[in-house]
Amino acid sequence: MNPPIISLTSDFGPDVFVGLMKGVILGICPNAHLVDLSHAVAPQDVLGGALVLEQVFGVFPAGTVHLAVVDPGVGSQRRGLAIAALGQAWVGPDNGLFTPVLRADPAARAYLLTNRAYFRPGSTSATFHGRDVFAPVAAHLARGVSPADLGPEVADPLRLEWPLPVREGDSLRGQVLFADRFGNLITNLERGLVEAFLAGRPARVELGGLVVDGLAPCYAAAGPGQPLALFNSLERLELAINNGDLSAKLGFSRLAARGAPVLVRALE
């Protein structure tokens, strides 16, 4: 039998906190295979954490447990949840972090974390629920505990306002979701939507004063230092510079890029 898989996502960066959560998990589920998705989410950036989780759909096998801790409300009255969705389990704070999971699976079921038998023994820190609540819960789920054993089902897990594209006259308006570490700007414009809008016509993509005509099949289709637009591995429209950093060229930080409007027009 394959060892259980637990993925970890957080805004903890390179500090000790991730290692402490792993120590708690391995103390409960020693054979767990731990996969770090990202600990580079910007501090307190719940939407950024949600966008990381969205990328795991269809990648991990059934039964995987996803532990996510981006938790600016730690110690407050915000709830902790375990969610059964997409054949997997998701554990973390009820602050909208799991919005893409709830959007992707209308049959998702969420459970309030109230059964302290599955928490770390002793007192629970008001500043580190990742170690004392979410990590041990994730480990118990990986060992086969049912989400229903963790607490009562809840019907109203918090959802973020999700950025969606809109049709405006002769254009399709989306926005930048984030800049990756290469400075590429990833948008909320999905391939299917864009291709249906274009209906076989060539595209013009606009971001501020940047105008790109045509969609490239890969980065190398543009000359070095030249901007391009293409569909990336997430099947989303992306703006980039071949061998360059578009975000820096446009003066964006990773967070400042978010929300920048992107227009797609069809060239006749």
Same domain, 110 and 173: no
Give yes or no: residues 129 and 230 share one domain: no
Q: Is residue 160 part of a domain?
A: no
Q: Which residue has the tokens 């969609």?
A: 215
8 A C-beta contact, residue 236 and residue 187: yes
CATH number at residue 249: 2.40.30.90
175: its two tokens: 């926005």
Torsion sign across C-alpha atoms 112, 126, 124, 15:
positive
Assigned domain for 159 exists = no
Query: What domain range is 87 assigned to?
Result: 5-154
Give residue 245's Cα distance to chain centre.
22
8 within 8 A of 70, measured Cβ to Cβ: no
pLDDT score of 252: 87
Identify whether residues 15 and 56 lie together within a single domain.
yes
What CATH number is given to the structural domain containing 100? 3.40.50.10790
* Total of domains in the chain: 2
The strand pairing partners of 236, in sequence order, are: 190
pLDDT (tens, 9 = 90+) of the chain, 268 residues, equals: 789 999 999 999 999 999 999 999 999 999 999 999 999 999 999 999 999 999 999 999 999 999 999 999 999 999 999 999 999 999 999 999 999 999 999 999 999 999 999 999 999 999 999 999 999 999 999 999 999 999 999 999 999 999 999 999 899 999 999 999 999 999 999 999 999 999 999 999 999 899 999 999 999 999 999 999 999 999 999 999 999 999 999 998 767 899 999 999 999 8
Contacting residues for 263 by C-beta, under 8 A, at least 6 apart: 171, 172, 173, 174, 205, 206, 207
**The pLDDT of residue 71:** 97
pLDDT value of position 254: 67
For residues 57 and 87, membership in a common domain is answered with: yes
pLDDT at 256: 81
Question: How far apart (Å, rounded) are the C-alpha atoms in residues 57 and 221?
Answer: 29
| pLDDT at site 253 | 75
Cβ atoms < 10 Å from Cβ of 173? 15
